[in-house]
Structure 1
Amino acid sequence: MVFNYNIIQWLFLFFFYSFCGWCWESAYVSILEKRFVNRGFMRGPFLPLYGCGGAMMLIVSKPYYDNIFLVYIAGCIGATILEYLTGVLMETLFKVRYWTYDHKKFNYKGYICLESSLFWGVCTVVFSHFLQLPIEKLLLAIPMNILSIVTIILTVINSCDFMLAFKTAIELRDVLMYMDKAREEMRRMQRRLDVIIAFRGEDVKEVKDGIGSRMENLGNKAYELGFGLSSKVGEIGNGIGSRLDVLGSSLEKSFSTVREKIMSSPSDYVLGVREEVSELYAKYRIIKDRMTPAPVKNFFEWYKERTIMGNPTMSSEKFKFSLEEIKEKISMRDKGSDESELKEE
């Protein structure tokens, strides 16, 4: 009977397929990016999705091995289900997509597409009827004691790597969520400062107490249209105004303007308004200081940088701007390191 392996052999094949998948993906993406890319969720030379895919192809093709058409259909269905479930699970856990088919025709929510499904069917036929046969001969030729030792070592190494990768992905999720909350809080602070800058002290107090709520709305619209201090027209629409560094720069200038107005005419601003400005600034400093809280403090370490750079197609619909900002910062750090190395040479 074909593909009748024991647990150790299945595990070894899983790692073997994971390694082959890493070689293929890393070579392909490196050519597209014109630089070496250590592709994948993990940092070691293994892509578990390919390991699961290879094992799945053998399992689904086993009952229909003598009928190539049924093997093809089983491969299409099995691989599509695996790809969909993996994509949904990873985005649910990490709030990030590691691949997307949004640019392909006949895709379903970007997780799967018709072209990919048909391709997986072809891969299943080629893999199960041609490639696996010589692999099986090599597998069966390896003494069982040696195979067991190698498999155990690979299991330990990959388990550690996966745990680090999982921890990194969770930290990235926490970073994105924190950045999103910080961005919204900074926007609220900017809108309030716009009102304080635009009106005199007593008017500001009335706005705060609700008497002049339409003025608050005016401040909101002013910010959204992009004439908040240091903002350029169109920045919000282009996503630039959503960047934390742009928001921070705008707030710094707004606080400076408010302080100058209060110092030049302190009698125009009641004590409550001055206290509010002080509270806003204290809150702003806390946000700035917490840009590196516990889950973020050591984020730009080698392992985590490589995780981001190893997945150039990584995307997040909910945290789009935050993820782009992180990618840009890491890319700039990476380019800076390359330039420093060239200068030293």
Structure 2
Amino acid sequence: MYSYTMAQWLFFFYFYCFFGWCFESAFVSLKKRSCVNRGFMRGPFLPLYGSGAIMMLVVSMPFQHNVLLTYVAGCIGATVLEYITGVVMEVLFKVRYWDYSNQKFNFKGYICLTSTLAWGGLTILMTRIVHKPIEQLVGDIPHNILMSIVFILTIYIVADFTLSFKAAIDLRDILVKLEAAKEELERVQKRLDVIIAVSNEGREAKKQERGERADELLSSIEERLLGLKGKIQSGVLTYPESMREEILDLWMKYKINLEKSRQLKNLMDIYKRRLIKGNPTMVSAKFKHAFQEIKDVVYDRLKK
């Protein structure tokens, strides 16, 4: 049984957060063939790995002399942790920081069989090989020095996590507002369809497909509004005053939502961009198109 002080437990947590960041960043960087600072936080720490490592130590305590039971305990414990973390993060931030939907035997994209089996193997590797020298190293550090290290790391990590959490919440709010703007644009486009149909141009309205992304909607709406404006000015189309006022109102709504979309995308500061760049597999089921637009903005800025 492990008998560590609180300072030692915290040091182990921070160490494995860092170790996990090294492993994950190296793996993803090699896969993407470019340097990727992986993770939720800006600094070199991945809390999921630190939590997973501590969980592995705890669940394997009763089975330290039984490899099979250690493996099973690691599979179950880590999978439960990964599932709960994934669900909570998506509820809070409206995005998934990992997604196993393309893997066989996955459950709602949060967990999958391959990952579960790997967690069991990592638990054995962790408890039988990796942790022993780390345990020895920490045991040799004088208590006062260890406390100072833990204190400094705690301040840094809490500050980093707070800023990262705020950035994730801000990113969520941007997604919500972009989606609201998109819904308003869809209402504008539907009304334009009716106006165009009334003017005996139903065939034109039917040929134009409704864009799913906000930028596609904006382009389609602008084209239709400019078309109507040109035909009204040339005398090809005549509308009663009430409909002219409605078209003007639709034009104003278009301009307002165009500016709103631009402003929201310009709110992507370094922490929000860091979240997206550090998690290239991030997805958002609820705000799929809005999130893809934001990702396009981030990666377009990287190319400049």
Band the TM-score falls in, shorter-chain normalisation = over 0.9
Q: Which residue of 2 aligns with 1:310?
A: 278
Return the offset for 1:199.
Answer: 2.9
Kept in 1, the 8 Å contact 2:37–2:278? The answer is yes
Q: Which residue of 1 aligns with 2:114?
A: 115
1:67/1:252 CA distance change after superposition, 3 Å: same
Kept in 2, the 8 Å contact 1:196–1:258? The answer is no
CA distance in structure 2 between the aligned counterparts of 1:132 and 1:300, rounded to whole angstroms: 40
Kept in 2, the 8 Å contact 1:315–1:323? The answer is yes
Q: Which residue identity is paired with 2:74?
A: G
Q: Which residue identity is paired with 2:296?
A: E
CA distance in structure 2 between the aligned counterparts of 1:257 and 1:93, rounded to whole angstroms: 43
Return the offset for 1:3.
Answer: 2.2
1:186/1:298 CA distance change after superposition, 3 Å: closer
Kept in 2, the 8 Å contact 1:176–1:322? The answer is yes
Q: Which residue of 1 aligns with 2:190?
A: 191
CA distance in structure 1 between the aligned counterparts of 2:265 and 2:169, rounded to whole angstroms: 14
Q: Which residue of 1 aligns with 2:216?
A: 246
**CA RMSD across the alignment:** 2.0
Instruction: Give the structure-1-normalised TM-score.
Output: 0.83
Q: Which residue of 2 aligns with 1:54?
A: 53
Question: What secondary structure is seen at the aligned counterpart in 1 of 2:124?
Answer: helix
Return the offset for 1:21.
Answer: 0.2
1:264/1:255 CA distance change after superposition, 3 Å: same
Q: Which residue of 2 aligns with 1:72?
A: 71
Kept in 2, the 8 Å contact 1:79–1:120? The answer is yes
Structure 1, unaligned runs of 5 or more: 204-214, 337-345
Q: How does 1:192-341 map to 2 (within 5 A)?
A: 192-200=191-199, 227-228=207-208, 241-265=211-235, 268-291=238-261, 296=264, 299-336=267-304
CA distance in structure 2 between the aligned counterparts of 1:15 and 1:298, rounded to whole angstroms: 34
Q: Which residue of 2 aligns with 1:181?
A: 180
Return the offset for 1:116.
Answer: 1.1
Q: Which residue of 2 aligns with 1:146?
A: 145
Kept in 1, the 8 Å contact 2:52–2:81? The answer is yes
Q: Identity over the aligned pairs, expressed in percent? A: 50
Return the offset for 1:292.
Answer: 5.1
Q: Which residue identity is paired with 1:246?
A: E
Q: Which residue identity is paired with 1:257?
A: G
Instruction: Give the structure-2-normalised TM-score.
Output: 0.94
Greater relative contact order (Cα 8 A, min sep 6): structure 1 or 2?
2
Q: Which residue of 2 aligns with 1:341?
A: none
CA distance in structure 2 between the aligned counterparts of 1:116 and 1:199, rounded to whole angstroms: 57
Q: How does 1:79-118 map to 2 (within 5 A)?
A: 79-118=78-117
Q: Which residue identity is paired with 1:305?
A: R
Return the offset for 1:289.
Answer: 2.1
Q: Which residue of 1 aligns with 2:136?
A: 137
Structure 2, unaligned runs of 5 or more: none
